[in-house]
Amino acid sequence: MTEKLRIGFDLDGVLANFTVAFTTLASGMFGTPVYPDCRCVDVYSFGLTDGEMDNLWNYVNSHPAFWRNLPPLVTPQEAERIRDLACRADVFFLTTRPEKGVQGAVTAATADWLCAHIGLEDPLQVESRLIVSGSALEKAKDIVALKLHLHIDDHPALVGWPRIMTLRYPYNDGDGAGNYVDSLSEYLTIVEMLVRCVPQE
């Protein structure tokens, strides 16, 4: 019996536009700039002070719907490719959420987002494929525990980790030691090629 490939997708910065949602919230609270997407950001903190970040996270932690309302980065065509991939491989969605957040509500809101924007139909089934961790290090451990063959992420702390492909942005494009892709579509093409190499039952 041939083992299916196990493929991972990060959410924020890969599938979902966390940047515009978070900086829009910051702009409303502090008058700071709004960044339309990750390509406009060269530091992971968006240039916000520690105090501003604390206030923003306190708000987000008490409003789980923030995660449900993130604008998509994934296109309808890419979402269709992910759905097709999920028929031929074991697909997981991994994301980092604040440890102080209302975890059950945060997970449910994130599952709702995946149903709405990836087109996955059953939120309960989605939650079984959704891994929510409290930090990048915890996510790296989850990637190992899940035995993923490949995963895409944008977090600077995960650049260069085995089996992780980094979606290139100004804030994570360091010394070139990582395995980079320049788009989600490029990652999907690589994964689709790998899946075609695995005999189907």
Residue-wise pLDDT tens for the chain (201 aa)?
568 999 999 999 999 999 999 999 999 999 999 998 888 877 777 888 999 999 999 999 889 899 999 999 999 999 999 999 999 999 999 999 876 555 688 888 999 999 999 998 776 678 889 999 989 999 999 999 999 999 999 999 999 999 999 999 988 987 667 899 999 999 999 999 999 987 765
Residue 24 covered by a domain: no
Residue 41 covered by a domain: no
Q: Any idea what DSSP says for residue 158?
A: G
Residue 134 covered by a domain: yes
Where do runs of H (alpha helix) occur along 43-154? 50-61, 65-68, 76-88, 103-117, 123-128, 136-145
The tally of domains found in the chain comes to 1
Residue 104 covered by a domain: yes
Cα 177 → chain centroid: 21
Q: Any idea what DSSP says for residue 59?
A: H
Q: Residue 48 and residue 142: Cα distance in Å, rounded? A: 29
Cα 23 → chain centroid: 17
Q: Compute and round to an integer the Cα radius of gyration of the chain.
A: 17
Q: Structural domain of residue 184, as residue ranges?
A: 6-17+72-196
Tell me if residue 93 falls in helix, strand or coil: strand
Residue 67 covered by a domain: no
Q: What angle do CA 20, 125, 147 make, to 5 degrees?
A: 80
**CATH number for the domain including 177?**
3.40.50.1000
